């Protein structure tokens, strides 16, 4: 971990290197008058919108919609089975498991053709009092239980003992984006009206505690966090049903879940502050987390060590080392396919456009894990055997 000061604000960075955009965004974070104590960047940090992905920012009495991001509540879940991977015939893996999952889980921009049962949606919220959630609710009934695109994925994996695991990465679908965009614009308008010293061009406009707009965003953000969890839970249930069809005697352990895009009230350095985690997970002492690699590398189940310097956080993955455009324009399709085929990984890379999520577009996950050995302890290493990308 490296420590220095930027714009008068202490910075603690676990990343080996940062891209130019991330450096600019870090400087903007350090200029915020309400930033608390220090800014932390995890080892997977890279440029985002307003705040770097892999960033952790604590603030005094304000929330920044763009420091949470558009995929509110996005996160990971994983389930261990008692099925030995070596007992799964290749034909069953490809034709029953993979095809069955694709049949049950809409991918990319696809949604369910019919609304899902309302009992699957988050409870304990007054949707009628929410501006964006109320407007998006009917559409969200067709989005729950769908993967989405980008870096979202479903993986079948093998642990070091040879047992099958299921891991997936997804978030709040369109409802989270709509909430972020709506309140980020409100924050921008209000900051301009208040003649705020925070330049709106930094995309870090804020909503202060005590305002109606803060309360409204906070409620809708929390709904999206719960919706993202409900989305992952439903997908996992349906994936396990597919597996159980072929392995009716299989047992499944409880699902591990952790989010990496949200804001929460927490107590750090003797103060109650709002911690924004954007592409970072909570790694308090004893908390079990998930840190995926790329579709050609290992992923990890980890246990938090509770390091106060990171605001009890760790990375949420390997982190990109090149943009999607750069990956598509520069990587070799043949080389990336050969790399996965050599590892006997069932994958979906077929064309140059698929290289936006190629393994080579990501940082070395083992180097990332070594850089954060003071943040988490590895409990289980998982290697991919089959990958479905959004």
- The pLDDT value recorded for residue 196 is 94
pLDDT confidence of residue 390: 84
What's the pLDDT score for residue 208? 98
Query: CA 152, CA 68: separation in Å to the nearest integer?
Result: 17
Any idea which residues carry the catalytic annotation? Answer: 316
Looking up residue 55, the CATH number of its domain turns out to be 3.90.1860.10
Number of independent structural domains in the chain: 1
Going residue by residue through the chain, which has 390 residues, state the pLDDT in tens, using 9 for 90 and above: 999 999 999 999 999 999 999 999 999 999 999 999 999 999 999 999 999 999 999 999 999 999 999 999 999 999 999 999 999 999 999 999 999 999 999 999 999 999 999 999 999 999 999 999 999 999 999 999 999 998 999 999 999 999 999 999 999 999 999 999 999 999 999 999 999 999 999 999 999 999 999 999 999 999 999 999 999 999 999 999 999 999 999 999 999 999 999 999 999 999 999 999 999 999 999 999 999 999 889 999 999 999 999 999 999 999 998 889 999 999 999 999 899 999 899 998 899 999 999 999 999 999 999 999 999 999 999 999 999 998
Q: Which bin fits 270, alpha (ψ -120 to 50), beta or left (φ > 0)?
A: left
Q: Which among 132, 202, 213, 209 has a CA at the least distance from the CA of 173? A: 132
Q: Is 314 within 8 Å of 322 (Cβ atoms)?
A: no
Burial of 364 (0-12, 13-18, 19+ CB in 10 A): middle
In a domain, 330, yes or no: no
In a domain, 20, yes or no: yes
Has residue 327 been placed in a domain? Answer: no
Q: What domain range includes position 138?
A: 2-321+362-389
Residue 70 within a domain: yes
Domain presence at residue 343: no
| pLDDT value at residue 371 | 98
| Residue 137 contacts residue 144 (beta carbons within 8 Å) | no
Report if residue 156 sits inside a domain.
Answer: yes
Q: Is residue 30 part of a domain?
A: yes
331 inside domain: no
């Amino acid at each position: 971990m490296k420590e220095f000061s930027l714009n008068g604000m202490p910075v603690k960075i676990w990343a080996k290197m940062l891209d130019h955009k991330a450096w600019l965004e870090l400087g903007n974070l350090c200029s915020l008058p309400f930033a608390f104590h220090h800014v932390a960047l995890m080892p997977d940090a890279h440029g985002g919108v307003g705040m770097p992905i892999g960033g952790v920012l604590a603030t005094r009495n304000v929330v920044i919609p763009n420091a949470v991001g558009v995929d509110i509540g996005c996160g990971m879940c994983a389930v261990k089975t008692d099925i030995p991977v070596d007992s799964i015939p290749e034909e069953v893996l490809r034709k029953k498991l993979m095809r069955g999952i694709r049949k049950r889980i809409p991918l990319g921009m696809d949604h369910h053709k019919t609304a899902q049962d309302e009992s699957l949606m988050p409870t304990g919220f007054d949707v009628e009092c929410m501006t964006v959630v109320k407007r998006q609710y009917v559409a969200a009934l067709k989005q729950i239980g769908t993967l989405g695109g980008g870096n979202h994925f479903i993986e079948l994996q093998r642990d070091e003992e040879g047992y099958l695991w299921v891991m997936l990465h997804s978030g709040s679908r369109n409802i989270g984006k709509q909430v972020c965009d709506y309140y980020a614009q409100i924050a921008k308008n209000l900051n301009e009206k208040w003649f705020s010293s925070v330049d709106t061009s930094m995309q870090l406009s804020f909503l202060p505690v005590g305002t109606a707009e803060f309360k409204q965003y906070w409620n809708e953000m929390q709904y999206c966090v719960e919706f993202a969890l409900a989305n992952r839970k439903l997908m996992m249930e349906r994936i396990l049903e597919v597996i159980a069809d072929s392995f009716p005697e299989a047992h499944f352990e409880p699902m591990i879940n952790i989010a990496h895009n949200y804001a929460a009230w927490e107590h750090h350095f003797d103060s109650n502050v709002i911690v924004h985690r954007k592409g970072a997970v909570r790694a308090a002492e004893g908390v079990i987390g998930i840190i995926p690699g790329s579709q050609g590398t290992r992923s990890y189940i980890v246990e938090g060590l509770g390091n106060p310097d990171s605001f009890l956080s760790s990375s949420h993955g390997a982190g990109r080392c090149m943009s999607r455009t750069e990956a598509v324009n520069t990587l070799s399709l043949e080389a990336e396919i050969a790399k996965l085929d050599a590892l006997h990984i069932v994958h979906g890379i077929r064309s140059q456009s698929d290289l936006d999520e190629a393994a080579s577009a990501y940082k070395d996950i083992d180097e990332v894990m070594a850089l954060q050995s003071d943040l988490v302890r590895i409990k289980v290493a998982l290697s991919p055997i089959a990958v479905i990308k959004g």
